[in-house]
Amino acid sequence: MAIVVITGCSSGIGYEAALRFARSGNTVYATMRNLAKAGPLKAAAEAEGLDIRIHQLDVDSQASIDGAVKAIVADAGQIDVLVNNAGVTGIGSVEETTDVELHAAMETNFFGPLRLIRAVVPAMRERESGTIVNVSSVAGRLVGGACVAYHSSKWALECASETLAMELRPFGVRVAIVEPGFFRTPILDKAADGFRAQETSPYKDLISRMSALYAGASEASGDPAVVAATIENAVTTDGPKLRYLVGDDAEPFVGGRARLTDEEYQTLGDKMTDEEWWAKFFEFFPQPAAAAG
């Protein structure tokens, strides 16, 4: 069984991933920035008798990462799997997003995973064994208006992940990118709140449509346990891939975007009212041609 380190385990995808890996017999080091939020995971692990060891780790802090990795390796001997899941949202137009807000999203969503990767890769490379899973998003494959910080950080993570996969392939270390669509997590709720808070923006029409999209997503989004299952599959499958889209909306988002020109995609929102934005969004994506019979 593997030694698995997961970030952002206080709720959502990280919480479910910790339980998923532990139920499969792995030793899980579930990390989070604020240990005051560890109660639900600790209780669930105790109730099921799972080997989940909770550690404090702030991905924004190199000192925190160094201390946590040192402690885990001292306890377990090595790290076989790293799941970079911790993340924050970032809502706002390019014009209105401050440097502080942009840096905050990049620190957690981009530089945080890279810090952890640099901490674990040397040992994985020397052993010629290990897996790194970076939890990105469909937001790393296409853009939405008025959320430049979040999308920029995920696009950057996609680039770094693909580069890393190319670099580590000769050493037998697997890299996977998991790209969820909309799932019921605190980050989705925070994003929806962020859009609602910008009613006075000069981009209020676009923000109104994005707010409607996220409101609909909050009602229709899936169980984060589905993402956890995909993360585990990316680690254990005999037929690994680089990217894993997850969720009923993920393929329509990414596949539909790929079938539109840049100009068509730029004007997509002009075709819908606010009320139609979620209900009719996918109707405006062209569908792939049916195979000839």
pLDDT tens digits along 34-80: 999 999 999 999 999 999 999 999 999 999 999 999 999 999 999 99
**Domain at 3-185+223-262, CATH from 3.30.360.10, 3.40.720.10, 3.40.50.720, 3.90.1150.10:** 3.40.50.720
What digits encode the pLDDT tens for the residues 237-258? 999 999 999 999 999 999 999 9
> Residue 293: pLDDT band by 50, 70, 90 thresholds?
very low
Per-residue pLDDT, 188? 80
User: Mean pLDDT throughout 4-13?
Assistant: 98
Percent of all residues in the chain with a pLDDT value above 90, rounded to a whole number? 75
Token look-up 């925190």 returns 64
Lowest-confidence segment of 78-87, 93-102, 190-199 by average pLDDT: 190-199
Per-residue pLDDT, 193? 78
Q: What is the three-class DSSP state of 160?
A: helix
Q: Which two tokens stand for residue 131?
A: 């897996």
User: Mean pLDDT throughout 102-108?
Assistant: 98
- The candidate with the shortest Cα–Cα distance to 234, out of 224, 243, 222, 223, is 243
Q: Which residues are catalytic?
A: 150
For the four alpha carbons of 84, 86, 92 and 98, in that order, the dihedral sign comes to negative
**CB contact at 8 A, 110 and 155:** no
Per-residue pLDDT, 289? 63
Stretch (H or E) spanning 6: strand 3-6
Return d(Cα 183, Cα 41) in angstroms, integer: 19
Q: Going by DSSP bridges, is the β-strand pair 52-56/243-246 parallel, antiparallel, or unpaired? A: unpaired
Per-residue pLDDT, 206? 85
Token look-up 């984060």 returns 224
Residues 6 or more apart in contact with residue 123 via CB below 8 angstroms: 73, 78, 79, 130
Q: Within a 10 A sphere around the Cβ of 119, how many other Cβ atoms?
A: 19
User: Mean pLDDT throughout 260-275?
Assistant: 82
In the chain, where the domains are located = 3-185+223-262
User: Mean pLDDT throughout 88-107?
Assistant: 95
**CB contact at 8 A, 233 and 22:** no
Return d(Cα 36, Cα 205) in angstroms, integer: 39
Residue 260, CA atoms < 13 Å, CB-side half-sphere: 19
